[in-house]
Structure 1
Amino acid sequence: MLKRIVFLLLTAFSLQVTAQELTQTIRGVIKDKEAKFALIGATGAITTLDNKGAVADENGNYIFENVPVGRHTLKFSYIGYEDVVLNNIVVDAGKEVILDVEMQESLSQLMEVVVKARRNGAAKNEMAMISARQFSVEEADRYAGSRGEPARMASNFAGVQGADDSRNDIVIRGNSPSGVLWRVEGVTIPNPNHFAIPGTSGGPVSIINNKYLANSDFFTGAFPAEFGNGTAGVFDLKLRNGNNQNHEFMVQFGFLGTEAMAEGPLNKEKGSSYLATYRYANLWMFDKLGVDIGTAAVPKYQDGFLRFNFPQKDGAEVSLWAFGGNSTIDILISDQTIEDRNIFGSNDRDQYYSTRMGVAGLTYSKPIKKKTFLKATLAASTNLQDANHDYVLLNSDAEGNPIVEGDRYSINRLIPLLDYVFDETKLTGVVSVNQKYSARSTLKFGINTELVNFESYDSARVVTPLPELNITPWDTRWLSNKNYLQLQPYLQWKYFLNEKWTMSLGATSFYSSINENSFSAIEPRAGLTYELGNGNKISLATGLHSQMQSPYTYFYGNNISENNLNYLNPDMGLTKSWHFVAGYNRLVGKNMRLLFETYYQKLFNIPIEVDPTSSFSMVNSGAGFSRIFPNRLVNEGTGRNYGAELTLEKFFSDGFYFLTTASLFDAKYIGADGVLRNTDFNGKYAFNALFAKEIKFRRSALSLGAKFTAVGGRWYGPVDETASAAAQEIVYEDEGRNTLQFAPYRRLDAKIDYKINRRGLTHTIAIDLVNPLGIQNILSLSYAPQPDGTFIKQEYQLGFLPVFFYRVNF
């Protein structure tokens, strides 16, 4: 059936009449990398074409007109600067290519210029020395199984693995997903996912849409000093401006949503522009087609983005931007059959859950006298979760087993069980300055300031159906309306000792007024690289990193009231981690690179329980759909992660691309019981192999891609069956925590993408075949009473998930 559909699509869209060659425009601005001033007179050339050149005007603007559709390589040059080579720039008929270029000043004198080309893929951040990678929108679309999301795309990189199929949390070098820092335009943002759970950084569906992102950076360790309050990794996302010369539109329909985008000029003469997107979920289609998404409930969500950009005199810009989304899902166990799966919630209750997240900001940037670049952003954000649960009381027989009527359990009644609202509002001010002293020396400094309000309410009770029904009184576990201030000043100095040695030294500090223990005075950062020649180099880096816990963990307690704020952990301090990384990068020919990195991380001040027999540690939090409910915590836990990573990547050339990454690692921790244990995320190894092949036709292109992933299984412990039966949920034996391991995770994905160009129009048809082999991978154990009296059920990851879309750019 699938072959027939593909054949019909190819036949229908490949019928073309003879006409002149389709072309499009490539344009942008050429700037200095550090100080961001325009490089007047810089030249550009399309090396895949003859006689196609451009020169930057007095504002740094360049333009290539009448560029044939397809893939092209661009080269930019300027006297006293290193060349920049950008490979595989995709040109479509339906959309102009707007490509801003930043060039690094050369250390060589004009008479001694040594040609060194900077290629795409290197991190945009000028202070990044190691464990950093730039990712593009084109890459996010290329990777099979990524669904166009930054987090799922990053799970293919060395040292990174996904948490599970149902969520896009990422585990970096064995660390908790909650240690990942998300930033947009320099502003720390809340969890940017629909159906987000407090204390996590991921979710089932990303709110962030790659269609409005510019090329961005991803860090996996020893990141520069500007990034604070994060211990695992950083997504440093950049937003693009809309087209300031022509109006362009996009419409997309697919399983994950119906989308629309519009961009264009507000004033062509002044260069101002707008960009707007909107998406509405179509997940009801999965239900109608019988596709398993892990639950019988139909999630609903919508999200959008808006950006206005206003160029000012002397290269300054003012941008107003906003994005956000809301989501809701009603998981009604009372309506489900016995065979229905429910990996997103508990099997003993109806759950009504909604979330809302949004960020709005005003950004001002200005290059000053070719030596200084100033950027400042004022932003406001909100992050809300609202939940209600009703316990599903089943009818049971004389032996306590649930009564089955047809394909459903017999339900006695619904009992209100839980009601909570968590609402975090934040006002953020960010100022950064790049000061360029010479071609050798650049200093970057700034401060991030956040004023946070955290409001929470949670009231719950316990229902014990056996041996006789018992319902406890309501217990208020969260009740807060807390304001606190967070400050993170930083500075980072980069110095080229000579053409081979580059050094970076920096320091940051973090302070939160949430309590007196949330202060880290000095966190040093340092890096060193040595160029071996021919694109090969050795890199070293180290840094101390700290992080607060999620706000909700500070204000949890029992029987809280306005007159009795009996919180368990109001004085919890910062978690800290030393990172040590060494790497070797080697170019293999013109279009391939080999990257090897090894690392060691020392984790300390980790919150663990006071109970000396407890194995609990916050290193295991941050993934899944449940909050955590620890007892009294102290910052006395430790841990250590170490490993080695290998990347072999062939950049897109000759019509194909591949990426192979392999990681061997070990992540362990020590809780209050003093036992060295595996963390939940210590899979021991991770392997990814991806490839993409493009077959070009006259006005169209067919892309075929695939990915294979193999990861070590998650760790867990023996189930305490007596405690689980009493609590009506899975309770593990504390002493045996993480002594058992699920079977290894395996998954094969495939992707088919067909693009058709017409004059001023581009059609794209794509289908992402996630796990087409239907491989069953264990996700977790859940409490699910069965007619035979058993209640431990193995929950499996998602099976085959076809993700289809049709897009038109015009």
Structure 2
Amino acid sequence: MYKRIVITSVFVLLNSMLLLAQQKFTISGNIKDKKNGETMIGVTVYPLELSGIGTSCNEYGFYSLTLPKGQYHIICSFIGYKPDTLLVNLEANIKSNRALTDNLFTLQEVVVSAEKKDDNIKRAEIGVAKIDIKEVAKLPVIFGEKDVLKTIQLLPGVKSGGEGSSGFFVRGGSADQNLILLDEAPVYNAAHMLGFFSTFNSDALKDVSIIKGNSPAQYGGRLSSVLDVKMKEGNNQKYAVTGGLGLISSRLSVEGSIVKDKGSFMVSGRRTYADAFLKLTEEFKDNQLYFYDFNAKANYKINDKHRVFLSGYLGRDKLGLGAFGIDWGNQTATLRWNHLISPKVFSNTSLIYSNYSYKGSITSGETTLSIKSEIKDYTLKEEFQYFPDSKNAIRFGFQSIYHSFVPKRFKGNTYNEPHKNTRYGWDNAFFVNNTMEVTPTLTLDYGLRFSTYSILGGDTYKIYNQGVMTDSVVLASGKFGKTYANLEPRFQFSYLLNENSSVKGGYARNTQHLHLLSNSASGNATDQWLGNSYNTKPEISDQVSVGYFRNLKDNLYQISVETYYKSLKNQVDYKNGADISSAPDVESELLYGKGRAYGIEFLVKKTQGKFTGWVGYTLSKTERKIIGINDGNWYNAQQDRTHDLSVVAMYALTDRWTLSALFVYSTGGAATFPSGKYDMGGNTVFYYKERNGYRMPANHRLDFGATYTRPHKSKVFESSWNFGLYNVYGRQNAYAITFANSKSDPTKTVATQTALFRWVPSVTYNFKF
């Protein structure tokens, strides 16, 4: 036995030495779309001669593949494109930029996913979904405005914030626990028109993905999800114009080359014109009701090793109804520098600016009252990607954010609120992550993030216990207060059971240093953001998830089942009877405790052919436990919904007509309704017993859409008409329920349900040339 062990050990050692002695070289470069010059994300690159070895290009189109010395056929593969093959004699490091061509036959079919056909099985990622921008345009949505936020709400584990709302909840998390990034810049309010539109103009977007809690270490700052949105870079081959005319909004995008094959730009704008219709009426001609947004991006390739990007977003809403007016909006800007340090090392340096602000006013006679608030970020992010060999892809770097919080401030000619100082925070993180192919059947993705948050001076911080002030800390400007530090480990794996199925699992700890105070489940324009303080500590989540994934009939059908359990710490809620609008210090109205969320998600998807679509179903539970609420017992979180179902179908009827339909059903959200009432001095006072102990009525509806592509003699010009009907059978879903005394019998209580929409038809004309 001992002799056998020694011989085996010597054999393994000699084999390892031979492998180490074998010369290896790297082929690297960028991959782009040949038609428009846009860099491509996620293209698979592999040698035909070596099974189980390969890589994929990163979010900037860069790939790096290290192989033993030899001759190889290097394949670049991406669904919807013709495979590209290059014969190389790898005797030294090679730089090879590639350009892929559309597969015209594939484009005649409807394709749900832009990924490699079996990536859903082989990737170590769990709880990740890619959104195909082309498919977003085909789905029926309210007012006919294609919307990525409405589309992700159709995925299992992602729930709508309400009827027509862009707000969403992921695996039991609240709306503020979603990190929404636009070219790396955080977007703090991703909604227009009180949530009926999102801030994302789909014409300006290149790639959208959502990660449901198990994010790699380079992401952080939120507990529930990451929605990573990237804008187009622009066509560097020729000028192109895209646009659309709808019933209440229009959009226009222009892109083109700055220098062909070296630089390009893209600008895109959108505006609603509901205010133009208001001016036609005498009663509403002085009212305002519109939003606009503007996206812009430019890039320039200095040489083969250096490339710079500049992108920005500006969006604003204006709502003026008589004496009441409010406007709000986001501004973001990102300056990035890509540097190819070596064939194996790629770096990205980003300077990021983000600002969200709102202001409002109310006028009554000679009395005026105004309100405003703001959150502003300045960020430096440095990230390196290292590809040591064909089986490892390592990311590491840091991120530093300077936060500025302008609290909600009221000001009027008859009201003088005590002055509230701007508060500041410094948010830092260091991260490292590796994606490793251990064996042809086992892939690991593991990492560690170390995050800190420091309270900065310039204000007095009061300390409360159950809403009662016990102490205070005065921090002079420029001084450091309390610093919170947390380690955030992450781990995921994928194990191939066979060529058609796999098991995946993962654990992730996430920490959140920013907190949103809102009076509604789906959020509104006047919500207020806070940083950590001496009362409000970092929110922490620990999520464990496991899933089974299977493809059928040559990847034509994809089936997945995922289950998760999430433990939450330092959750924030309001004490009973809280008034966050007029409280001198909003933290005096807050209570803190823990939470839990668990559930199971099912997804069946057909990805190719004339008929495509998916069915998604989620069974889940979300609860909180906070001393001072519900007698310290567990209670339903506001976003808790037991059942959530979505059915999406698309059918290419002819070369010109594409039909689409979707059906959604969800249990009503948890709500607090009065349990009784009593009379006090002739006034009725309602009595509330249990927090979120009741439910809104179930929500369901059917939407229908049709797209007609017009034939044109000119190959340069393309156009289409999109028709839609939102809520086909006229379901009056409850938006709000109010309670009042019956006019005929004051001893009885009448509940009144408010519904926003019944039938909403839409027509949109789209063009491109």
Match of 1:748 among 686, 689, 702: 702
CA distance in 2, matches of 1:726, 1:232: 47
Residue 307 (structure 1) aligns with: 297
Deviations for 1:133-177, whole angstroms, at most 9, x for unmatched residues?
A: 111211222333274222111000011111112421111122211
The verdict on how the C-alpha distance between 1:626 and 1:211 changes in structure 2, with shifts beyond 3 A counting, is: farther
1:649 aligns with 2:602: no
CA distance in 1, matches of 2:603, 2:288: 39
The verdict on how the C-alpha distance between 1:455 and 1:742 changes in structure 2, with shifts beyond 3 A counting, is: closer
CA distance in 2, matches of 1:545, 1:129: 16
CA distance in 2, matches of 1:725, 1:696: 68
Note if contact 2:38-2:232 (Cα within 8 Å) is conserved in structure 1.
no
Residue 312 (structure 2) aligns with: 322
1:652-801 correspondence to structure 2 within 5 Å? 652-653=608-609, 655-672=610-627, 673-697=631-655, 701-719=656-674, 733-758=687-712, 759-782=715-738, 793-801=752-760
Match of 1:448 among 374, 399, 414: 399
| CA positional deviation for 1:795 | 1.8
The one-letter amino acid paired with 1:680 is: Q
Residue 573 (structure 1) aligns with: 537
CA distance in 1, matches of 2:678, 2:534: 29
1:273 aligns with 2:264: yes
The one-letter amino acid paired with 2:335 is: L
DSSP-derived class of the 1:666 partner: strand
| CA positional deviation for 1:232 | 1.4
Cα-Cα RMSD: 4.0
Residue 545 (structure 1) aligns with: 510
Residue 464 (structure 1) aligns with: none
Note if contact 1:509-1:522 (Cα within 8 Å) is conserved in structure 2.
yes
Residue 460 (structure 2) aligns with: none
Match of 2:107 among 71, 80, 98: 71
Residue 603 (structure 1) aligns with: 568
| CA positional deviation for 1:721 | 8.1
Note if contact 1:495-1:503 (Cα within 8 Å) is conserved in structure 2.
yes
Note if contact 1:161-1:171 (Cα within 8 Å) is conserved in structure 2.
yes
Residue 452 (structure 2) aligns with: 511
Match of 2:98 among 61, 64, 70: 61
| CA positional deviation for 1:281 | 0.6
CA distance in 2, matches of 1:263, 1:161: 34
CA distance in 2, matches of 1:731, 1:375: 59
CA distance in 2, matches of 1:216, 1:370: 27
DSSP-derived class of the 2:689 partner: helix
Deviations for 1:573-605, whole angstroms, at most 9, x for unmatched residues?
A: 111111110111000212111100001111111
The one-letter amino acid paired with 2:545 is: V
| CA positional deviation for 1:312 | 2.6
The verdict on how the C-alpha distance between 1:582 and 1:37 changes in structure 2, with shifts beyond 3 A counting, is: closer
| CA positional deviation for 1:551 | 6.9
The verdict on how the C-alpha distance between 1:733 and 1:256 changes in structure 2, with shifts beyond 3 A counting, is: farther
The one-letter amino acid paired with 1:669 is: R
Note if contact 2:244-2:767 (Cα within 8 Å) is conserved in structure 1.
yes
CA distance in 2, matches of 1:645, 1:531: 20
The verdict on how the C-alpha distance between 1:369 and 1:569 changes in structure 2, with shifts beyond 3 A counting, is: closer
Note if contact 1:605-1:635 (Cα within 8 Å) is conserved in structure 2.
no
Note if contact 1:519-1:574 (Cα within 8 Å) is conserved in structure 2.
yes
CA distance in 2, matches of 1:47, 1:216: 16
Match of 2:415 among 456, 460, 474: 474
| Equivalent residue pairs, number | 657
| CA positional deviation for 1:41 | 7.5
Residue 189 (structure 2) aligns with: 191
CA distance in 2, matches of 1:479, 1:213: 39
The verdict on how the C-alpha distance between 1:639 and 1:48 changes in structure 2, with shifts beyond 3 A counting, is: closer
CA distance in 1, matches of 2:85, 2:679: 70
The verdict on how the C-alpha distance between 1:353 and 1:626 changes in structure 2, with shifts beyond 3 A counting, is: farther
CA distance in 1, matches of 2:169, 2:385: 32
Match of 2:328 among 340, 350, 355: 355
Note if contact 2:341-2:347 (Cα within 8 Å) is conserved in structure 1.
yes
Note if contact 1:679-1:715 (Cα within 8 Å) is conserved in structure 2.
yes
| CA positional deviation for 1:511 | 2.0
1:619-638 correspondence to structure 2 within 5 Å? 632=588, 636-638=592-594
The one-letter amino acid paired with 1:61 is: R
The verdict on how the C-alpha distance between 1:677 and 1:633 changes in structure 2, with shifts beyond 3 A counting, is: same
| CA positional deviation for 1:236 | 1.0
CA distance in 1, matches of 2:680, 2:97: 70
- TM-score normalised by structure 1 residue count: 0.73
The one-letter amino acid paired with 1:322 is: G
| CA positional deviation for 1:475 | 5.7
CA distance in 2, matches of 1:686, 1:627: 37
Deviations for 1:682-705, whole angstroms, at most 9, x for unmatched residues?
A: 1101001110001233xxx21111
The verdict on how the C-alpha distance between 1:48 and 1:352 changes in structure 2, with shifts beyond 3 A counting, is: closer
| CA positional deviation for 1:48 | 9.4
Residue 371 (structure 1) aligns with: 344
The verdict on how the C-alpha distance between 1:27 and 1:513 changes in structure 2, with shifts beyond 3 A counting, is: closer
CA distance in 2, matches of 1:286, 1:747: 28
| CA positional deviation for 1:482 | 2.4
| CA positional deviation for 1:548 | 2.5
Instruction: State percent identity of aligned pairs.
Output: 17
The verdict on how the C-alpha distance between 1:299 and 1:28 changes in structure 2, with shifts beyond 3 A counting, is: closer
The verdict on how the C-alpha distance between 1:70 and 1:502 changes in structure 2, with shifts beyond 3 A counting, is: closer
The verdict on how the C-alpha distance between 1:626 and 1:479 changes in structure 2, with shifts beyond 3 A counting, is: closer
DSSP-derived class of the 1:798 partner: coil
CA distance in 2, matches of 1:627, 1:61: 60
The verdict on how the C-alpha distance between 1:447 and 1:38 changes in structure 2, with shifts beyond 3 A counting, is: closer
CA distance in 2, matches of 1:217, 1:678: 29
Note if contact 2:445-2:492 (Cα within 8 Å) is conserved in structure 1.
yes
Residue 388 (structure 2) aligns with: 437
Note if contact 1:457-1:476 (Cα within 8 Å) is conserved in structure 2.
no
* Runs of 5+ unmatched residues, structure 1: 1-23, 74-86, 91-98, 102-117, 197-202, 291-295, 333-349, 391-412, 462-471, 554-566
Deviations for 1:49-99, whole angstroms, at most 9, x for unmatched residues?
A: 9x996769965232548x7587269xxxxxxxxxxxxx8499xxxxxxxx9
Residue 588 (structure 1) aligns with: 552
DSSP-derived class of the 1:479 partner: coil
CA distance in 1, matches of 2:544, 2:532: 34
Residue 529 (structure 1) aligns with: 494
CA distance in 2, matches of 1:439, 1:635: 50
Deviations for 1:33-53, whole angstroms, at most 9, x for unmatched residues?
A: 36724789845689999x996
1:25-424 correspondence to structure 2 within 5 Å? 25=35, 33=56, 36-37=62-63, 42-43=74-75, 59-64=96-101, 71=107, 88=111, 118-119=116-117, 122=120, 129-145=125-141, 147-194=145-192, 203-268=195-260, 270-284=261-275, 299-332=289-322, 350-390=323-363, 416=367, 418-424=369-375
The one-letter amino acid paired with 2:351 is: L
Note if contact 2:132-2:208 (Cα within 8 Å) is conserved in structure 1.
yes
CA distance in 2, matches of 1:671, 1:646: 31
Note if contact 1:601-1:641 (Cα within 8 Å) is conserved in structure 2.
yes
Note if contact 1:155-1:161 (Cα within 8 Å) is conserved in structure 2.
yes
Note if contact 2:275-2:287 (Cα within 8 Å) is conserved in structure 1.
no
| CA positional deviation for 1:735 | 2.5
